[in-house]
Amino acid sequence: MLDPYKIREDFPILERKVHGRRIVYFDNAATTQKPRQVINAIKEFYEKYNANVHRGLHTLSQEASELYEKAHEVIAKFINAYSWEEVIFCFNTTDAMNIVAYAWGLKNLREGDIILSTVMDHHSTMLPWRNVAAIKGAVVKYINITDDGYLRYDQLEELINEKTRVVVFPIMSNVLGTINDVKKIVKIAHEVDAIVVADGAQSVPHMPTDVRDLGIDFLGFSGHKMLGPTGTGVLWGRRDRLEEMMPFKVGGDTIKDVTLEDVIWHDLPWRFEAGTPNIAGGIGLAEAAKYLMKIGMENVRNHEIELVTYTFKRFEEIGDEIAVYGPKNPNDRGGVISFNVKDLHHHTVGKTLDLLGIAVRTGMHCAHPLHYRLGLKGTVRASYYIYNTIEEIDYFIDALKRIINLREQLKTVPVEEVCTGT
C-alpha cells in the first residue's frame, strides 16, 4: 500500500493555508497537484536544454529532441502500448477526442452511419462526434444508465447494428465514478466492426491501464489529471487505426516533404503533432508517469477504494441529510463522489466547504445530459488522489455536519452572493 503521508512531502502546495486552514484538496477529478519531481523536471529543461525539437542539428536541439522522444517512450510503457509511435502528445483529453473525431471521422464516416455515445459522457467526448456527425450526415445515439449509475449494457446490445461505426464512452464517469466494463463494450462493438474510442481522463490516472489487454482502438487522457502539467495530454491509437486517419492539424513537423502540388506526411506520431509542441510539458508528463509507476497503479487504485469505502461508512452518520449518486459498491467506482445536501444549493455547500479550507467542485461537471438524466441541476463533487488521507475525510465529514446544522442560516444567503464570494 502507498503511504499518503510520505507522498504529501513531495507536494509543496499542500502546505498552503486557505482561509486560515491547511488546504484539503478534494478536486482531483478537475486537476491534480504537482510533485516537486515534475516541477523540477520542467525547470531543468528550461534551464539546461531549452530549444525547439526536430528543427536543428545543434546540441541543444538534439538534446531537447531526445528528451521529448523519450517522454513518448515513458508514456507508452505506462499504458503498455505496442510502440511509442502510437503515442501522440496533445493538449488534453478534449484535444485527443477532437483529433479522433475529425481525423478519423471526416475520412471514414458516411451518411447514415451510427455513432453510439452514452448519457454519462463528458461534453469533451460527446460534442466532437456530434459536430462531425452533422458534417457527414451520421446519426448519434445514446446509451442510457440505470438509476444507480451503471451503463445499460442491454441497451448497447439493442442499439448497435451493422451501421454502427463508432462506440465512444468514458472508462470512468467523472460524476458518478462508475467504472464501465471496457472489455464487454469492446466485444459488442467489434462484432459489427465499430471502432471503440475510450475516454480515459478519469481512469488512466487512477488505475492500471493496459491498452493491449483492453482491446480498444483509441484512448485519450490528460496529463494534468495525473500529476503532470496543464496543457498536456495523450491520444493513443492502434497503429492500423492511426494509419486510417487524415492529419487534422497540419503544418510544421507533420510532413516529410511539401511541393506546390503534393505533400508527404511524416511518420507516426509526428504527423499528428503539428507545430512546436509543449516540449517542457511532455517532459513533465513523463516525469509524472514515472512517479506513478514507482508507486504502482494497483496501489493507487487500492488507496482510493479504501478512501471511498471509509467515506461511505462516515456518510451513514449523516443519513438522509445527504444524497449520494452512483454505484454504492466502492469496487465499482473510482475516487469520485458526487452528492447533495438536503435543501441546500450545491454552490452554497461548495463555497461553505471552501471557507473551511476544503476544495471541491460544484455544478454539472461538464456532464449536463447526465445531470438532466438524474433530475439534478448540479452536484457537489469530492474527488480523491494519492495524497489524500483518512484524517482529511474525517474533517470533511465534520464540515458537512456543521453545514447541516447551519442549514437554515445558509438557506437565507442568495446563491448569487455565494457564487461571487460575497
Active-site positions read: 366
Pick from 224, 172, 228: nearest CA to 202: 172
Q: List own/partner pairs for 129-132 with CB under 8 A and 24 or more apart.
A: 129/101, 129/105, 129/166, 129/168, 131/101, 132/101, 132/102, 132/105, 132/106
What separation in angstroms does the CA of 44 have from each of 62, 226, 231, 289, 297? 16, 20, 18, 17, 26
What single letter denotes the amino acid at residue 83?
S
Pick from 247, 253, 293, 282: nearest CA to 270: 253
Cα–Cα distance measured from residue 127 to residue 5, given in angstroms and rounded to the nearest whole number: 40
Residues 6 or more apart from 145 whose CB is under 8 A from it?
A: 118, 119, 120, 151, 152, 176, 178, 370, 373
Contact 49, 67 (CB under 8 A): yes
Cα–Cα distance measured from residue 32 to residue 378, given in angstroms and rounded to the nearest whole number: 22
List the grid coordinates of 113: 452511419
List the grid coordinates of 386: 494519492
Q: Compute CA 397 distance to the chain's CA centroid, rounded to the nearest angstrom.
A: 26
CA angle 59, 61, 67 (to 5 degrees): 100
Residue 414 — φ and ψ, nearest 5°? -60, 140
Detail the DSSP E strand segments found in 95-194. Answer: 114-118, 139-143, 164-170
Q: What secondary structure, in 3-state letters, does 169-234 show?
A: EECECCCCCEECCHHHHHHHHHCCCCEEEEECCCCCCCCCCCHHHHCCCEEEEECHHHCCCCCCEE
What single letter denotes the amino acid at residue 381?
R
